[in-house]
Structure 1
């Protein structure tokens, strides 16, 4: 069972973080501008953060696939990064800031509780991945059929996470 959980958590973190990193790298100026608009960093650090965040996300997307203990550290670091992102979102909500979340590229959807909820789901995935990666290895990996089901479920969850802004727009009552 642990092998299936670990596979699913690895897949979700890898897909979500790789997609996030790719979007930020593809639209570097937009990401840097969004960070400036959020005003959560001193202006002189915005450029460095705009470069470091997508690189950290890409690196973590790869490192969760490395065997223990590296995977454990990668899941822990992933959890830390997600916690940081959630804290920024909560701060922006408390300030009433009217900014969008550049998590998966440029967006016109203002930061909302749905973004925080998305990060809490991701934090849960990272925590489950950490627990599975740190658990004793019972030997033998997941079977092919089970792995296919887990990867399908992970793909579905990843797509929902990535599509948060689209889902917010779709189900928004303010039209």
Structure 2
């Protein structure tokens, strides 16, 4: 389950950043606005981020305990780097919108840090389970994979889901309340 969850999260993250020129430029700009790497290093940092995310996906999808361990370890390291970058941005008052999974307008905040810490925990569990690999029945593997896929989709869509249920702003007065105020 851990491998499919992480693979889902990282494939959505990587593909959303390279989904087209506007998505790529938005991601690069968000890195620039974080003010944590020199301007000359922004594009290389963006390329490295997406390449590493794609590498994690490949390693997690290879049906080998060693590949699973390496993929989980790289995922944990990348997520730890994200925690540091986001934490520094928040501490400096920089609320650049997160381009983690596309063109979100949600400013960086502690929920991003918590999400990445939870994912580091998932990567740790994935590392442990890959190192203790034995023979697992195919039905168990399929069920765990499906569960991880669903959980990964929910994690990547969490900001959108919250936006759907969050009130848009102060309620508009209805015609009844307008009449009462006359």
Say whether the fold is shared (TM-score over 0.5): yes
| TM-score using structure 2 length | 0.83
Distance 2:146 2:158 in 1: 19
Distance 1:152 1:68 in 2: 19
1:120-131 equivalences in 2 (<5 Å): 120-131=117-128
Structure 2 unmatched runs, 5+:
170-182
Answer yes or no: is the 8 Å Cα contact 2:98–2:108 preserved in 1.
yes
Distance 2:168 2:95 in 1: 15
The residue aligned with 1:42 is 38
Answer yes or no: is the 8 Å Cα contact 2:76–2:123 preserved in 1.
yes
Aligned length in residues: 165
Answer yes or no: is the 8 Å Cα contact 1:115–1:164 preserved in 2.
no
| TM-score using structure 1 length | 0.86
Answer yes or no: is the 8 Å Cα contact 2:2–2:148 preserved in 1.
yes
1:1-175 equivalences in 2 (<5 Å): 8-26=1-19, 27-66=23-62, 67-135=64-132, 137-138=133-134, 140-144=135-139, 146-170=140-164, 172=166, 175=169
Aligned in 2, Cα 1:109/1:45: closer, same or farther, shift over 3 Å?
same
- The structure with more radius of gyration: 2
Q: SS at 2:18's partner residue?
A: helix
Structure 1 unmatched runs, 5+:
1-7
Distance 1:142 1:86 in 2: 36
Distance 2:29 2:162 in 1: 22
What is the CA-CA distance between 1:55 and the residue it aligns to?
1.3
